[in-house]
Amino acid sequence: MTVDFLVGFAKEAIKMALLLSAPMLVFGLVVGLLVSIFQAVTQVQEMTLTFVPKIVAVMIAILIFLPWMLNLFVTYTHNLFVNIPQYIR
């Protein structure tokens, strides 16, 4: 194992983590921004109003993007297992 291999391996792992978490983070960010604008306009400062819509948005994002995320993760894992002999050398 060389340093270049380890850096490439870590890069792929970080890329996979970012790709898998991006849909939920984006949905949560957009809903949080909309709720913040709504709270600023109406001056309603209810704590549950900030959390409940974000949780619902993240759940919806998971439902929408789950097939894509599973496909991405299975492909990554398959490539990881197939290339184990190359990693050992």
pLDDT digits 0-9 by tens, 31-89: 999 999 998 898 888 878 889 999 999 999 999 999 999 999 999 999 989 988 887 87
* Nearest by Cα to 61 from 37, 83, 29, 89: 29
In the three-class reduction of DSSP (H, G, I as helix; E, B as strand; rest coil), residue 46 is classed as coil
- What is the tally of structural domains in the chain? 1
Phi-psi category of 25—alpha, beta or left, where left has phi over 0 and alpha has psi -120 to 50?
alpha
Q: What is the pLDDT of residue 9?
A: 86
Check pLDDT > 90 for residue 18. yes
pLDDT of residue 62: 96
Q: What is the phi-psi region of residue 43: left when phi exceeds 0, alpha when psi lies from -120 to 50, beta otherwise?
A: left
Tokens linked to 21: 């978490």
Full residue range of the structural domain in which residue 65 is found: 3-88
Give me the pLDDT at residue 35, please: 92
pLDDT of 33: 94
pTM of the entire predicted model: 0.78
Does the pLDDT value for residue 5 go beyond 90?
no
- The single-letter DSSP state of residue 44 is -
Is pLDDT at 3 greater than 90 in this prediction?
A: no
